[in-house]
Amino acid sequence: MKSQFVTNNYGRFDLTFDRGEGCYLYDESGKAYLDFAAGIAVNSLGHCHPAMVETIIDQANRLWHISNLYWNSNQNKLAEMLVNLSGLSKVSFSNSGTEANETALKIARKHGFMVSPGKKNKIVYMRESFHGRTMGALSVTGQEKYREKFRPLPEGVVEAEFNDLDSVARVMDENVCGIIVEPIQGESGILPATKEFLQGLKDLCLKFNALLIFDEVQCGIGRTGEVFAFQDYGVQPDVLSLAKGLAAGFPIGATVVGPRAENIFEPGDHGCTFGGNPLACACSLTVLSIVSTQETLASVKKNGEYLLSRLNSLGEKYSTIELVRGQGLIVGIKMKEAPATIISQCIEEGLLLVGAGGNVIRMVPPLTVSWEEIDQALEIFEKVLKKN
């Protein structure tokens, strides 16, 4: 139900959800929806996963928030787990993807400041990227529709072309302190980087003493069938931004840094009041303990391949589909025309999907989705394709 008391910055569907269970959401009338949007790639364990419910209740009875003036063992354990899983070395916590990226950008700028203050401060970002809505994150988001009304934005940023290493090489020099890139561009339409591109960025960063930042806010935490998308590529970043799926629906952000970036922050350089609170970290510990198992990752890979192959068959059958691409359970279906009608009709039929740039429909179901649920979703999707 629409509210006049909420600011008008979203184009929302006229749907009000009341409860969720597994891959299903239920509206106020009790109608069920298969959730292949998952709160925009957030509900990695579906809705109200029993382990998450138990974690939240237990932690709610123990401790929620103490600030970062003190230590809490959940934050320490989560940092250690992220370090062990990523092979990087330290973690800075926040509450969202945009904050995780702000932290990453500040680490890059501080790195430049330590090497050559006032000079080494350029950050390179990619066209069609999406890194969040705060002023800093917007300054490196290469899509004018998000930025044009909010200038002036922070300076010292340079745009290059995604998957075009020459375009990056042309803007590189000793004054670049960082490069930020999504291994799979999400909002602009599920566009995977090539391995050569990411490896080339890494080489340029080493050559010019810059930090390589991977924004895995959307594609990380098991989505691709590895815990982190960079593990599919075999290219390790210096700084890694995480959020969305990290606590499966509880707000959290994390910026993980490797050896070249681990000694940059000092007390006073950065802070986040809620960052790394015991409740958020408890949720994330439970998520990672489930998502990082071979069982979950293998199931994401297997189900992802199944989803992709079924969608490719639909692509051969229906000319409205231009192409299908993705990795694991982050899949984009590029349509020949704007997909708003198809998405609305799917919702009416009980299937939630998300749009993305470039006429793309996203399927980002919970990582716990079953083969049968994929079949159900595709049955609805095909029924709608037939009508269009």
Residue 55 interacting with ligand PLP (CB under 6 A): no
**Least distance in Å: CB of 9 to ligand PLP?**
13
Burial 319-350 (b: 16+ CB within 10 A, else e): ebbeebbbbbbbbbbbbeeebeebbebbbeeb
Binding test (CB under 6 A) with ligand PLP, winner from 128, 182, 226, 232 = 182
Which residue's CB comes closest to ligand PLP?
A: 97
**Least distance in Å: CB of 278 to ligand PLP?**
20
Backbone dihedral angles phi then psi of residue 387, each to the nearest 5 degrees: -85, -10
**Least distance in Å: CB of 215 to ligand PLP?**
5
**Least distance in Å: CB of 29 to ligand PLP?**
29
Residue 138 interacting with ligand PLP (CB under 6 A): no
Q: In this chain, which stretch among 70-78, 157-165, 210-218, 285-293 interacts with ligand PLP, using CB under 6 A?
A: 210-218
Question: DSSP secondary-structure letter at 96?
Answer: S
Binding test (CB under 6 A) with ligand PLP, winner from 131, 223, 260, 362 = 131
Spatial contact of 335 and 313, defined as CB atoms under 8 Å apart? no
- As to burial, measured by CB atoms within 10 angstroms (0-12 exposed, 13-18 middle, 19+ buried), residue 162 is buried
Binding test (CB under 6 A) with ligand PLP, winner from 74, 92, 218, 224 = 218
Residue 217 interacting with ligand PLP (CB under 6 A): yes
Reduced to 3 states (helix: H, G, I; strand: E, B; else coil), residue 191 is strand
Residue 296 interacting with ligand PLP (CB under 6 A): no
Residue 186 interacting with ligand PLP (CB under 6 A): yes
**Least distance in Å: CB of 133 to ligand PLP?**
6
Residue 275 interacting with ligand PLP (CB under 6 A): no
Sign of the four-CA dihedral 217, 219, 223, 225: negative
Binding test (CB under 6 A) with ligand PLP, winner from 130, 162, 230, 233 = 130
Binding test (CB under 6 A) with ligand PLP, winner from 243, 290, 363, 384 = 243
Binding test (CB under 6 A) with ligand PLP, winner from 22, 39, 132, 142 = 132
Encoding tokens for residue 29? 């009338």
Residue 162 interacting with ligand PLP (CB under 6 A): no
**Least distance in Å: CB of 97 to ligand PLP?**
2
Q: In this chain, which stretch among 1-9, 161-169, 181-189, 332-340 interacts with ligand PLP, using CB under 6 A?
A: 181-189
Question: DSSP secondary-structure letter at 326?
Answer: E
Residue 97 interacting with ligand PLP (CB under 6 A): yes
How far is the C-alpha of 372 from the C-alpha of 384, rounded, in Å?
19
Q: Where are the alpha helices (DSSP H) in the chain?
A: 38-41, 50-60, 73-86, 97-115, 135-139, 144-147, 165-171, 195-207, 230-233, 278-291, 294-317, 340-348, 371-387
Residue 96 interacting with ligand PLP (CB under 6 A): yes
Nearest to 93 by CA among 285, 224, 228, 259: 285
Backbone dihedral angles phi then psi of residue 287, each to the nearest 5 degrees: -55, -50
Binding site for ligand PLP (CB under 6 A): 96-98, 101, 130-132, 182, 186-187, 215, 217-218, 243-244
